[in-house]
Chain A
Amino acid sequence: MQLLFEQLLNGLQLSLTLFLLAAGLTLVFGIMGVINLAHGSLYMLGAYAGALAAAKFGSFWLALPAALIAAGLIGAAMEWLVVRRLYALDHLSQVLATFGLILFFNGTIAWGVGRAPLQMDTPALLSGFVQLGPGLPYPTYRLAVMGVGVLVALGLWYVIARTKLGMLIRAGSDKREMVAALGVNIAGLFTLVFGLGALLAGLAGVLVGPIRSVQIGMGEQVLITTFVVIVVGGIGSIRGAFVGALLIGMCDTLSRAYAPMLLKMWLTGALADGLGAALSSIMIYLVMAVVLVVRPRGLFPAGG
């Protein structure tokens, strides 16, 4: 029972990390209509900026703003130089252009920073564990990441449901021409939204820095999963991204935790272990396929 609780907590933690990535991507996708494969690169750049700043200043608390500033600035530059030209083009050209950006960012990091993974430690303040029950210590840092995820979700909900900007964003994701016809500065709105998406990606990057490896290609590792999340949730919907992240994060964690054990009821040990691992590798894709077959526009289609 306690183990199940712990695994659920692990699933929640993974879900909230996924949500940070998915929120930015779904906004950019839903409102601006741009498929940004380089969203993962912004996550990587956030992690690199954070790790480099942490190494230079010796403090995680300086790494955090450094990562946000770097991701925000690079995101804004990306919007201004490249993404702005993609609005008029079809999804295919967007895929092509942002695929080029992935190569460029990976190559540039290898050239400029080096190929070796970077060090990034857990901040001292958050390095211990919290005793959640007898025999159940849980890493403080992971609880903190969960807290940030919840705060971001609440913040986004507030912005979107309660502010003028949010109203424009909601309107923009449904009827872009209408918003433009009402005299709203669409270009400005788009830069803002893209910058916000980049900022969230950078935040996710620096937050996972002490948990995962800060290395080239870390963006592509999460990119596909993030796309799965927003597609399951329904593109353009923050609520969908949140529910999608929960569904995917939970399914992934729980299948890794329990699939081999369940299979052992029918199969021999080694076969069950291997098959269970294979099943959990494809679990998120399986979930997406099932969701899309039943609901072809995701769980919460925006504007539907």
Chain B
Amino acid sequence: MGLNRQTFAALLVIACLIAVPYVAPMLGGNYVITLATRVVILAIAASSLDLLIGRGALVSFGHAAYFGLGGYVVGIAAFHLANDVPIFGWAGSNEALVVWPLAMLVSGFAALLIGALSLRTSGVYFIMITLAFAQMIYFVFIALKYYGGDDGLSMTSRNLFAGTRITNAQTFYWICLSALGLCLLIQWRLVVSRFGMALRGAASNERRMAALGFSVYGYRLVAFVIAGMMAGLAGALWANLNRFVSPDMLGWVRSGEFMVMVIMGGLSSLFGPIVGAAAFLLVETALAGWTEHWQVAFGPFVLLVALFAPRGIWGLVSGKGKP
């Protein structure tokens, strides 16, 4: 029964995501599509964080670092192209098929370095050391006057996708949705594979997995890098959506919001982070549009979710509400 309900809920989420461009004209046009695009991009970042928090019990409080780095790769590549100044002998680029993978590589590399050091700790210490590294990157970009510092960096236009400019809101939505689908597919394959079992096994009993001959550290590091790369892709898409990157993409508040989305949606579920990202963004947007004192209402909403839906909204919807 539970499984049926879960499948039904999953199909509903997919149907809603696909329906957006078709029903948008009735609801308010491009704005609705853009809002949905925002949800989809944040869902990519949140689901990549869920790979760490949900599957691996690795609570990273610095996930915005990879999101922001991915965004800055896109922004900086466009900046150099627009200003005709090569960077390390490279002219910069506006081609999505070049800069998006590059964004993923840079974010993945950062995750490799940070993960290699951070994974030596565990528990709360892991939370804090990931935060520490993210804050360092944040402060570097704040001070980086060449790339706008805290004022941020604008892009004159979105990236080209295989030579074609992505101006249409619908096209961009489909691209983002495909990216989300791809990320979820990869995560699903990972989770059911030997890799996923090792990751989950280490989360519940690290010693046993080590005794069984699994390199817990290695598996965790790979998960950390994959999650970083997916967050980097989300950041690259976010930069394209806004045609603007700024250090607020990297800050701890943004990391905290990703965590809130994951927990609100429900841990260890492919669809939880989507629901979480949607709930977070839509409730916040609606409340902020309704009253200037939105925090007074939004705070308790977050609190109530934490207290009464510890499995998240997805847990409630899919019938796994009781821990």
Q: Do chains A and B touch in the complex (CB under 8 A)?
A: yes
Contact with A along B130-172 (1 / 0, CB 8 A): 0111011001101101000000000000000000000000000
Cα distance A108–B264 in the bound complex, in angstroms: 23
How many Å from the CB of A246 to the closest CB on chain B? 18
Asked if B173 is an interface residue, CB under 8 A from chain A, the answer is no
A107 touches B302 (CB 8 A): no
How many Å from the CB of B118 to the closest CB on chain A? 8
B140 touches A278 (CB 8 A): yes
A104 touches B263 (CB 8 A): no
Asked if B301 is an interface residue, CB under 8 A from chain A, the answer is yes
Asked if A297 is an interface residue, CB under 8 A from chain B, the answer is yes
Asked if A95 is an interface residue, CB under 8 A from chain B, the answer is yes
Q: Which residues of A contact B140 (CB under 8 A)?
A: 278, 282
B299 touches A107 (CB 8 A): yes
Q: Which residues of A contact B131 (CB under 8 A)?
A: 224, 227
Contact segment of A85-93, A116-124, A171-179, A185-193: A85-93
Cα distance A100–B120 in the bound complex, in angstroms: 30
A92/B307 contact (C-beta < 8 A), A278-B139, A285-B133 known: no
Asked if A292 is an interface residue, CB under 8 A from chain B, the answer is yes
Q: Which residues of B contact A285 (CB under 8 A)?
A: 132-133, 135-136
Q: Which residues of B contact A146 (CB under 8 A)?
A: none
Most buried by A among B127, B132, B293, B297: B132
Asked if B244 is an interface residue, CB under 8 A from chain A, the answer is no
Question: Which residue in B120, B124, B264 is a CB contact (below 8 Å) of A293?
Answer: B120
Question: Which residue in A29, A104, A286, A288 is a CB contact (below 8 Å) of B296?
Answer: A104
A107/B296 contact (C-beta < 8 A), A82-B303, A97-B302, A228-B132 known: yes
Cα distance A29–B128 in the bound complex, in angstroms: 13
Q: Which residues of B (240-264) have their CB < 8 Å from a CB of A?
A: 252, 256, 259-260, 263-264
Asked if A14 is an interface residue, CB under 8 A from chain B, the answer is no
Interface size class of B (residues with CB under 8 A): 35 or more
Cα distance A90–B323 in the bound complex, in angstroms: 11
Q: Which residues of A contact B305 (CB under 8 A)?
A: 96, 100
Contact with B along A283-297 (1 / 0, CB 8 A): 001101100110011
**Closest residue of chain A to B307, judged by CB?**
A85
How many Å from the CB of A111 to the closest CB on chain B? 5
How many Å from the CB of A224 to the closest CB on chain B? 6
Give the interface SS of chain A, mostly helix, strand, loop or mixed: helix
Asked if B193 is an interface residue, CB under 8 A from chain A, the answer is no
Q: Which residues of B contact A101 (CB under 8 A)?
A: 299, 303
Asked if B31 is an interface residue, CB under 8 A from chain A, the answer is no
Q: Which residues of B (276-323) have their CB < 8 Å from a CB of A?
A: 293-307, 310
Asked if A127 is an interface residue, CB under 8 A from chain B, the answer is no
B263 touches A93 (CB 8 A): yes
Asked if A281 is an interface residue, CB under 8 A from chain B, the answer is yes
Asked if B267 is an interface residue, CB under 8 A from chain A, the answer is yes
Q: Which residues of A (238-295) have their CB < 8 Å from a CB of B?
A: 274, 277-278, 281-282, 285-286, 288-289, 292-293
B120 touches A104 (CB 8 A): no
A297 touches B256 (CB 8 A): no
How many Å from the CB of B265 to the closest CB on chain A? 11
Question: Which residue in A85, A105, A282 is a CB contact (below 8 Å) of B135?
Answer: A282
A224 touches B135 (CB 8 A): yes
Asked if B199 is an interface residue, CB under 8 A from chain A, the answer is no
B264 touches A96 (CB 8 A): yes
Q: Which residues of B contact A89 (CB under 8 A)?
A: 306-307, 310
Cα distance A143–B300 in the bound complex, in angstroms: 40
**Closest residue of chain B to A92, judged by CB?**
B263
Q: Which residues of A contact B125 (CB under 8 A)?
A: 231, 235, 292, 296-298
Cα distance A296–B297 in the bound complex, in angstroms: 39
A224 touches B252 (CB 8 A): yes
A residues apposed to B, CB below 8 Å: 29, 35, 82, 85-86, 89-97, 99-108, 110-111, 224, 227-228, 231, 235, 274, 277-278, 281-282, 285-286, 288-289, 292-293, 296-298
Pairs A–B under 8 Å by Cβ, sample size 25: A35-B127, A91-B127, A94-B306, A97-B306, A99-B260, A100-B298, A100-B305, A103-B299, A106-B295, A108-B296, A224-B131, A227-B128, A228-B132, A231-B125, A231-B128, A274-B143, A277-B143, A278-B143, A281-B142, A285-B133, A288-B129, A289-B117, A289-B136, A292-B125, A293-B117
B residues apposed to A, CB below 8 Å: 53, 59, 117, 120-125, 127-129, 131-133, 135-136, 139-140, 142-143, 145, 252, 256, 259-260, 263-264, 267, 293-307, 310
7 interchain residue pairs of minimum CB distance: A107-B295, A104-B299, A100-B302, A103-B299, A100-B303, A97-B306, A107-B296
